[in-house]
Amino acid sequence: VHSKGLKLGIYSDVGNKTCAGFPGSYNHYDLDAQTFASWGVDLLKFDGCNSGTLELLAEGYRHMSLALNKTGRSIVYSCEWPFYLRPLKQPNYTEIKQYCNHWRNFFDVYDSWSSIKSILDWTALHQDSIVKIAGPGGWNDPDMASRVTRHLCFPVTQLVIGNFGLSQDQAVTQMAMWAIMAAPLFMSNDLRHISPEAKRLLQNREVIAINQDPLGRQGYQLSKVQRAMEW
């Protein structure tokens, strides 16, 4: 993977099993962190299924963060901590940012405009609690979902540009809004078959520069205009 100029990510879970029923990292955080580092992993997506109690969920996310740091390798730590907290309590984003590099707040993203729009609507609705915490070292994640096939688990991440579900205008909108939201930019398309239009959009230096603003400020919706449909 590294020889192709790409980064290597891996998936695990804070509980004893992943969401798909495979072995998780519970009670093996230090061993798993060392193993991932020895494999040259650059990013760990750490899910929260089968974690038991909220206390065990929090303990697991904290423990894996410390274990990753102990390896001495720079590994991006992608958490789903607030996503599992929200149904029961308001997440403490100050604490979450102390341990995680970015964190998921909402449901899985899919290769469709309705999915993208639902994430944008949710972000605007909850912006008072999430926008202020975003900044260097810690970011709100508009979702990084994993799909499990019979043989493989692979990421279907935030940017669905280059797949088949979005029109060109919708793809432009996703790229622009993810940049404004200071979201981590991960591609989820097949790099072997990407269209020239999608490639140009994903490599747009001006839009990426907005996303990579050194201040790291996430955009804030000031107003919303409703347009009536004319028949």
5 CB-contact burial (10 Å; exposed 0-12 / middle 13-18 / buried 19+)? exposed
Nearest to 120 by CA among 177, 42, 167: 177
Structure token digits, residue 23: 């072995």
Q: How many residues does the chain have?
A: 231
Q: Is 133 exposed, middle or buried (0-12, 13-18, 19+ CB in 10 A)?
A: middle
Secondary structure E strands in the chain: 9-13, 43-47, 76-79, 102-104, 139-141, 145-148, 153-156
Active site residue 143: no
Residue among 30, 42, 108, 111 flagged as catalytic: 108
Identify the active-site residue in 13, 32, 47, 143. 47
Catalytic residue at 30? no
Which residues are annotated as catalytic?
47, 108
